[in-house]
Chain A
């Protein structure tokens, strides 16, 4: 079945440091890929997405590129802020699912990011 693997956490950085959170996936076909962010005590917010190979999703300074050859969707940000401290989840959904999966999300285990001033 489908699966998503994220780098082990937690990740602790100083403000303005470069961030990479690795994400690799296993899936049949061409899934859609997502990064969700969860701030303390809140629900998940969609951070960015990519729906086909070589697509780059970007939002709020974060970027991730859909790499089919390496089945990866690594999250990057050039300069993190204290306000970026949160849990980050990589996820996939079968694209054009319809049918019985109805876009069901498969999540990675989450990576806790803490940014210090």
Chain B
């Protein structure tokens, strides 16, 4: 089945130690998104890629970076995690063709713990 995969499902890192979260998709969607979600709150969009074009949300801290080496993969890098960065991180994809964007498909998320 076509899907969005996130690895690992659970990640523990130390305060200040860089960490990378991974997302891959078999849907061949051209748009990929990264969200941060805390405690059953609404997901907060961090940034997204439209093809190779990176789009950062205005309030996303510089501590968060992303890479998209190809259509299928996208990475979230947290350069110096703080305790406040502990959250669920969700990857999503969608297809945008000819100005019409379709619904987003979400991965299962990575639960990040910062010790």
Chain A interface residues toward B at CB < 8 A: 32, 34, 36, 38, 41-46, 49, 87, 89, 93, 95-100, 102-105, 107-110, 112
Contacts and interface: CB of A to CB of B under 8 A. Distances in A.
Contacts, number: 70
The number of chain B residues touching the other chain, given as a range, is 20 to 34
Contacts of A36: 106
A10 to B, nearest CB: 10
A112 B108 CA distance: 18
B108 A103 contact: no
Contacts of B111: 41
B1 interface: no
Interface of chain A: mostly helix, strand, loop or mixed:
loop
A103 B103 CA distance: 8
Most buried by B among A34, A44, A110, A112: A44
B29 to A, nearest CB: 11
Contacts of A44: 43, 90, 92, 106
